[in-house]
Amino acid sequence: MNLILLGAPGAGKGTQAKFIVEKYGIPQISTGDMLREAVAKGTELGKKAKEFMSQGKLVPDEIVIGIVKERLRQKDCEGGFILDGFPRTIAQAEALDRIMAEMGRKIDAVINISVPEEEIVRRIVNRRICRKCGAIYHLIYDPPKRPGICDKCGGELYQRDDDREEVVRQRFAVYRKSTQPLIDYYRKRGVLYEVDGTKDIVSVKSEILSILEKLKG
């Protein structure tokens, strides 16, 4: 299965992607995670991406398209993949179509997780992430058992520096302008599935799993 998770920042893409990875054994391709890793390591890519990310702007299309293209060619993507946070612009979606065509593959489903802005802000400012294993927590909706410590691996939990309210509002505005048009783009192709992202984590998960089970047929 070749899947895309679409949705505003904080809609729950990463959280749900992790369930899909566990259940179907396909890799999660998160451009946000890849870019943050590059920033942390101080690579050339990281140096280019840093400014855009800290201001809540999109990293230029050609940079992001390049890293996704390279990633999709790796062996672990042969049995399918789940894209999280890509595409985010029409230009990225068109590039993805070309990459898929070159590889003789296609996108099977695009799952749009919709959540309104006020709830997005509540989710993101309380998001915490494990530095070691990347597990995602929420201080209110999905707290760790011990404050500041990952349940899964004992790693330290941290807050992303772009997860502050003013940057979140900026990211949401970017989402509305550049990413929301992708909903129509994929609807027209008949591959769009809509999920109500305001429900709790477990309900959203079962909605997504039921879509994927039908897809598998």
Residue ranges that bind ligand ADP, judged by CB under 6 A: 7, 9-15, 31-32, 35, 52-53, 56-59, 64, 85-86, 88, 92, 123, 126-127, 136-138, 141-142, 171, 199-201, 204
Instruction: Tell me how long the chain is.
Output: 217
Is 176 a known active-site residue? no
Active-site option among 13, 36, 123, 128 = 13
Strands of the sheet with 157-158, listed across from one edge: 136-138, 127-130, 157-158
Burial of 28 (0-12, 13-18, 19+ CB in 10 A): buried
24 touches, from ligand ADP, Zn ion, none (C-beta below 5 to 8 Å by class): none
User: Which CB, 56 or 191, lies closer to ligand ADP?
Assistant: 56
* H or E element in which residue 45 lies: helix 44-54
- DSSP assignment of 164-183 equals SHHHHHHHHHHIIIIITHHH
* H or E element in which residue 95 lies: helix 90-102
The binder of Zn ion chosen from 25, 62, 101, 153 (CB under 5 A) = 153
Stretch that binds Zn ion, among 15-23, 91-99, 152-160, 208-216 (CB under 5 A): 152-160
Is 150 a binding residue for Zn ion by CB under 5 A? The answer is yes
- Closest residue (Cβ) to ligand ADP? 32
Is 41 a known active-site residue? no
β-bridge pairing 192-196 and 109-114: parallel
Q: Please answer whether residues 175 and 69 qualify as being in contact, where contact means their C-beta atoms are separated by less than 8 angstroms.
A: no
Strands of the sheet with 81-84, listed across from one edge: 28-30, 81-84, 2-7, 109-114, 192-196
11 touches, from Zn ion, ligand ADP, none (C-beta below 5 to 8 Å by class): ligand ADP
Is 105 a known active-site residue? no
Active-site option among 36, 88, 123, 205 = 88
Is 133 a binding residue for Zn ion by CB under 5 A? The answer is yes
Minimum distance of Zn ion from residue 61's CB (angstroms): 32
Q: Which residues are catalytic?
A: 13, 88, 127, 160, 171
